[in-house]
Amino acid sequence: MKNLPATLGRLRHSVRARLMGMLLIVTTLVLLFAGTALLIHDLSVYRKSFAQDVSAAASILATSTAPAMAFDDHAAAQLHLSSLRARHDVQIAAVYDAGGHLYESYVADGVEPAATALPGSRSQFLGGERVEVRQRIEQNGEFLGTVYLVFHYDLRNRVVAYLQIFAGVIIFGLLLALLLSYSLQATITRPLAAIAQVARQVVEKRDYSLRVPGRSDDEIGIVISGFNRMLDEVRAQTTALTSSNSALTAQIAERQAAEEQRRQSEKVYRAVGESIDFGIWITDAEGRCTYASDSFLKLTGLTQEQCDTFGWTTLLHPEDLEATLAAWQSCVRTNGPWYREHRILGVDGQYHPVLAQGVPVLHEDDSIQGWAGINLDISRLKQTEEALRLADRRKDEFLATLAHELRNPLAPIRNAAELLSVPSASEQQRQWSRDVIARQVNHMALLLDDLLDVSRITRGRMELRREFVRLSQIVNAAIETARPLIEARRHSLAIHLPPGEDLGLNVDPLRLSQAMSNLLTNAAKYTAPGGRITLTAAIDEGGLRLDVADTGIGLAPGAASRIFEMFTQVEGAAAHSQGGLGIGLALVRGLVELHGGTVTAASAGLDLGSCFNIRLPPSALISHMPDRGIAPEGLLAATGGGHAVLVVDDNRDGADSLGLMLNAMGYAAHVAYGGESALQLAERLRPRIAILDIGMPDLDGYEVARRLRSTEWGRRMQLVALTGWGQKEDIDRAREAGFDLHLTKPLNVAKLQRYFATIGGLQATAASSEPRSPA
């Protein structure tokens, strides 16, 4: 109860204040009413009695002055008038004779004298504070004169006095009311304050065991006991609610956790479903699609609603429609799983093969709820299937052809062998037989070689052995191989090579000439006897270009791109064919692509001849020569000037080939296969240039460079690093070790050549020695 004053203070503004206010207002009102009524009553009584009083005074005066008037005795009249002096409220007392003339008068101090003629009769009360009265003086019925009196009717002083008394009464009454209300309020507000205090504590502390003390039999007592009973009830209900609430909270948390788990799980499953092309689908028990993924809707251009009403069936391929509908009806009838491949028309106008697969979803009671499943995009699968089928067919054809091709030489071989075994055979006949056998076996060997090469290329096992060769060598080798067939079919062969110096190539001579001979053989095969074959070599910005044109059967439009595929032979070409496995052009393409080049075929049409074209990139050329007129340095051979160049590489082939190339360019190349031997060789030769490999077992390139730089003669040398490592830090490291140039493998010859050109005097003189051709 320590806050009681505060509580009471609060109460003062409520119950107590209202009680007190009411009491004060009522008291004031009652007093005001009573006072006003009394005032009105008093004033009217006062006025009446005053009027009577003045009338009586006038009457007495009239009687007493009657003799004076009767006998014209001024002194007596004056005497009687003066007797009114005792009355302070008399302002004028006058007697007028019967003619209305002033006879005698008495006038109080400070008042104007009485009028000489009797004033006209007006109302008795004049202007609130003046009262006049007239009284006839009669004697024996004779009118002797008139008494005229004017009184001061002191209404204001009376009212003021009255109000003073009234104010006193009101103040006293209010004080009394205040005192009374204080004592009354104490009996009401104190219990109320106690209730309020307990109520606030209950609210603040949530302690429903608190009770309001005190007991009385009046209404307050009823309120207190009612309040306490209410607290009992609240306590009981709160306890019940709290326990119920905690149970509910636990349940809700449990459900939320379960719901969250379910949602996560659904999110995962949905993500799995949606990640598939073309998503998932869900149907109801009648098979109506209730959901289809966006990817499916995007594919078909259908809306979800159109899917609901079997709109997707209108997009089925006509060949699939009947079977799919029948399968779907059967599925719905048997409540079985759904599995169906069909083609669906997409918005792109194409039919997309789709695998629709799903399972029935059951209710708790095993009744069907619907189906759910996926639409799987199987177009790639179908393409693969198709490609496999095609490849399979080609393989079958190839095997048949192979068998035929392998079998063909066997008949002449058997005949020759039979002939050899005949004792009577002449030596000429035996020689013929040996020739036949040798020729046919060679043919078979060639076939088998092609077969093995194609197999190697297909498996990525073919490795090129690039060398420095001249174009004429390649061309000659190819013509040499094809010449027997060309001559046998009486074709004419024309060869056009670029004018000027023979071109230097960095290619595998064997494989490139093999590719060219295949093209020549091909041309010979598919050209009617006596045809014309032209081989043209040319150089342009794209590199080297080799064309083999013929006047043969030509190619059907569209066939040009297919003929380079394995096991492909042009349909209808069989009649012209001289046999073969159909792998020749595939082999050509493989070999050219290994060189970084391309091969294409072109034809004006069937029987209009065809032209096969090989392109090799500029990197296959030793010198780059876009335009001989503008680049007069010409071939590599013209530039060396016989300067000594030291080539160091632990890879002997690498070192030898670079040496050979430098020799071809006109330098005097000396080769070392290790760091130590390189240092000895350099000491002896004092070359101007050294090209060093970095990774070497005994001394690495950096160390060799540092040691060379430490000698007096070595400081003037040009050091070139040639390495497989081309990162910036490798270049920086090479520069630190003293290298002037850093080149990466495989060597860009043009770059090296440009570098040499920047070093003065290196190509001053003509080649002194004939460049050696590579082996």
Partner 1 sequence: MRRPGPAWRCIGILLLFLCAAPLAQAQERVDEAVVKAAFLYRFTGFIEWPPVEDASEEFVVAVLGSETVARELEGILARNTVRGLPARVRSLRSVHDLAGAQMLFVGDGYSGSLRDIAEGLRRPVLVVSETERGLDDGAAVNFLEADRRVRFEVSLPAAARAQLKVSAGMLAVAVRVRR
Binding region for partner 1 (CB under 8 A): 63-64, 66-68, 70-73, 76, 139-142
Tell the smallest beta-carbon distance from residue 141 to partner 1 (Å): 8
Tell the smallest beta-carbon distance from residue 73 to partner 1 (Å): 4
Tell the smallest beta-carbon distance from residue 132 to partner 1 (Å): 25
Task: Using the minimum distance from each CB to partner 1, give the nearer residue, 75 or 575.
Answer: 75
Tell the smallest beta-carbon distance from residue 128 to partner 1 (Å): 36
Task: Using the minimum distance from each CB to partner 1, give the nearer residue, 139 or 711.
Answer: 139
Handedness of CA 300, 302, 307, 310 (dihedral sign): negative
**How many CB atoms within 10 Å of residue 563?**
22
Are 689 and 643 within 8 A, CB to CB?
A: yes
Are 739 and 718 within 8 A, CB to CB?
A: no
Q: Which residue type is seen at 728? A: K
CA-based angle 759:764:770, to the nearest 5? Answer: 115
Are 191 and 220 within 8 A, CB to CB?
A: yes
Task: Using the minimum distance from each CB to partner 1, give the nearer residue, 142 or 698.
Answer: 142
Report in angstroms the alpha-carbon separations of 56 from 53, 60, 83, 461, 519.
5, 6, 14, 164, 172
Task: Using the minimum distance from each CB to partner 1, give the nearer residue, 140 or 209.
Answer: 140
Task: Using the minimum distance from each CB to partner 1, give the nearer residue, 79 or 420.
Answer: 79
What is the 3-class SS of 62-116, one letter each residue? Answer: HHHHHHHHHCCCHHHHHHHHHHHHHCCCEEEEEEEECCCEEEEEEECCCCCCCCC
Task: Using the minimum distance from each CB to partner 1, give the nearer residue, 77 or 192.
Answer: 77
CA dihedral 362, 364, 366, 370 (to 10 degrees): -20
Tell the smallest beta-carbon distance from residue 81 to partner 1 (Å): 14
Tell the smallest beta-carbon distance from residue 98 to partner 1 (Å): 11
Tell the smallest beta-carbon distance from residue 97 to partner 1 (Å): 12
Tell the smallest beta-carbon distance from residue 107 to partner 1 (Å): 23
Tell the smallest beta-carbon distance from residue 144 to partner 1 (Å): 9
Tell the smallest beta-carbon distance from residue 61 to partner 1 (Å): 12
Tell the smallest beta-carbon distance from residue 80 to partner 1 (Å): 9
Task: Using the minimum distance from each CB to partner 1, give the nearer residue, 127 or 141.
Answer: 141
Are 372 and 282 within 8 A, CB to CB?
A: yes
Task: Using the minimum distance from each CB to partner 1, give the nearer residue, 139 or 473.
Answer: 139
Please, what is the end-to-end C-alpha distance for the chain in angstroms? Answer: 122
Task: Using the minimum distance from each CB to partner 1, give the nearer residue, 69 or 749.
Answer: 69
Crossing angle (nearest 10°) for helices 74-82 and 15-70? 170
Tell the smallest beta-carbon distance from residue 142 to partner 1 (Å): 7
Task: Using the minimum distance from each CB to partner 1, give the nearer residue, 67 or 287.
Answer: 67
Are 639 and 666 within 8 A, CB to CB?
A: yes
Tell the smallest beta-carbon distance from residue 90 to partner 1 (Å): 21
Sheet holding 351-362, edge to edge: 289-292, 280-284, 368-377, 351-362, 338-345
Q: What are phi and psi of 118, to 5 degrees?
A: -60, 120
Crossing angle (nearest 10°) for helices 728-737 and 701-710? 30
User: How would DSSP label each residue in 752-763?
Assistant: HHHHHHHSTTTT
Q: Is 651 helix (H, G, I), strand (E, B) or coil?
A: coil
User: How would DSSP label each residue in 504-566?
Assistant: EEEE-HHHHHHHHHHHHHHHHHTS-TT-EEEEEEEEETTEEEEEEE--SS---TT-TTTTTST
Q: Which residue type is seen at 347? A: V
What letters, b where the CB count within 10 A reaches 16 and e where it falls short, cover 235-256? eeeeeeeeeeeeeeeeeeeeee
Q: Is 461 helix (H, G, I), strand (E, B) or coil?
A: coil
HSE-up (13 A, CA, CB side) for residue 584: 23
Tell the smallest beta-carbon distance from residue 56 to partner 1 (Å): 18
Tell the smallest beta-carbon distance from residue 145 to partner 1 (Å): 13
Q: Which residue type is seen at 216? A: S
Sheet holding 102-107, edge to edge: 102-107, 90-97, 142-152, 130-139, 125-126
Tell the smallest beta-carbon distance from residue 96 to partner 1 (Å): 18
Report in angstroms the alpha-carbon separations of 542 from 36, 289, 539, 545.
131, 59, 8, 8
Q: Is 671 helix (H, G, I), strand (E, B) or coil?
A: strand
HSE-up (13 A, CA, CB side) for residue 616: 26
* Pairwise CA distance, residues 446 & 337, whole Å: 58
Task: Using the minimum distance from each CB to partner 1, give the nearer residue, 63 or 124.
Answer: 63
